[in-house]
Amino acid sequence: MVVRRHHDALPEQDVIIRRGDPRHNATTVAEVALVLLLVAACGAAAPAQPTPEPLSGTFTASGGGGALPAVQALTARFKELHPAIDWIVSESGSNSAIKLVVSNTIDVGFVSRALTDAEKQQVTGIPIGFSGTAVIVNPANPLTNLTREQLRRIYTGEIMSWLDFGGTEPVIRPYIREPNAATRQTFEAFVFGGSVPTYGKNVIQQTEVEAMFTAVSSFRGAIGIASAGSRTANDKRVKMLSIDGIAASQETIVSGEYKIVRPLALIYSNTAELKPAIRAFFEFVKSAEGQRIAAAAF
């Protein structure tokens, strides 16, 4: 094959490229490579990976008051990480939380006591620390400490006057929470040592924390129980007592020095399919940051 250059080339200069000539093959390969390169550069790009959907929605959490500060702190931090998520957090009691989770009425439950073997067949717990049950009295009461035996004698009705303990009030007015309250269950385990609790006829039952605070603050001789936390410690209507010489504080509860304690946990149904946001929340709770936040909430 003879290829003559265009008129702008030197007329007497012919370029002869024969088929099979190595220069012909090299030129062809180079041209093909150039075409492929241009196609790759200008053609359709490889399909991009889909962007993960942001976590969003409104979710509910409810349960025992002892775990409430930790749950509030955890949900607040999770919302900071995922602004499109909102939480409705309420206190309903540990027993109620289990029923609400099993019935799929709420997204997250929380309990402030140990789960029974029967309950573990229905729900799974994620530990978030410990809480204490505090013994509270009217701020006018001069006493600062009671022993376990003194508590037992007060609540069985054996001792009915603060004068027997060096106090100033002639009458002790003891209050207790309702039977399914975690604070009461922990208190009974400590005071009665596993025996069936026997309460004196002068013991009055109060339902919910606010009713207990109001009752104890209304009578100078009152005594009651509440969760040992910042909410109780900062309420000027009541005063927390040391038990057996140990004050109820975050440090003594974590160390085990304070004995009226109970475990805290988030719970979810063993049969329900977790929503992506709730699954992510549980993973956050189990992380080092989540555990630190729960431990610091008091």
User: Tens of pLDDT along 57-67?
Assistant: 999 999 998 99
**pLDDT digit string, tens, across residues 147-173:** 999 999 999 999 999 999 999 999 999
272 or 117, higher pLDDT:
117
pLDDT given for residue 11 in this prediction:
40
pLDDT given for residue 162 in this prediction:
98
- Inform me whether the pLDDT recorded for 209 exceeds 60: yes
pLDDT given for residue 298 in this prediction:
84
- CA distance from start to end of the chain: 93
- Inform me whether the pLDDT recorded for 20 exceeds 50: no
Long-range contacts of the stretch 252-257 (C-beta < 8 A, 24+):
252/132, 253/130, 253/131, 253/132, 253/228, 254/129, 254/130, 254/295
pLDDT given for residue 53 in this prediction:
61
Assign a CATH topology to domain 58-298: D-Maltodextrin-Binding Protein; domain 2 (3.40.190)
- Inform me whether the pLDDT recorded for 27 exceeds 60: no
- DSSP state letters, 183-219: HHHHHHHHHSTTSPP---TT-EEE-SHHHHHHHHHH-
- Inform me whether the pLDDT recorded for 33 exceeds 60: no
Element (DSSP H or E) covering residue 286: helix 276-286
Cα 191 to Cα 98, 185, 197, 203, 258, distances in angstroms: 26, 10, 9, 15, 13
**pLDDT digit string, tens, across residues 102-143:** 999 999 999 999 999 999 999 999 999 999 999 999 999 999
Closest C-alpha among 176, 225, 184, 235 to residue 201: 176
Give the mean model confidence (pLDDT) for residues 14-21: 41
Average pLDDT score over the chain = 86
β-strand pairing of 222-228 with 242-243: unpaired
**pLDDT digit string, tens, across residues 213-262:** 999 999 999 999 999 988 899 999 999 999 999 999 989 998 999 999 99
pLDDT given for residue 52 in this prediction:
59
Domain spans in the chain, listed from the N-terminal domain onward: 2-42, 58-298
Give the mean model confidence (pLDDT) for residues 186-194: 93
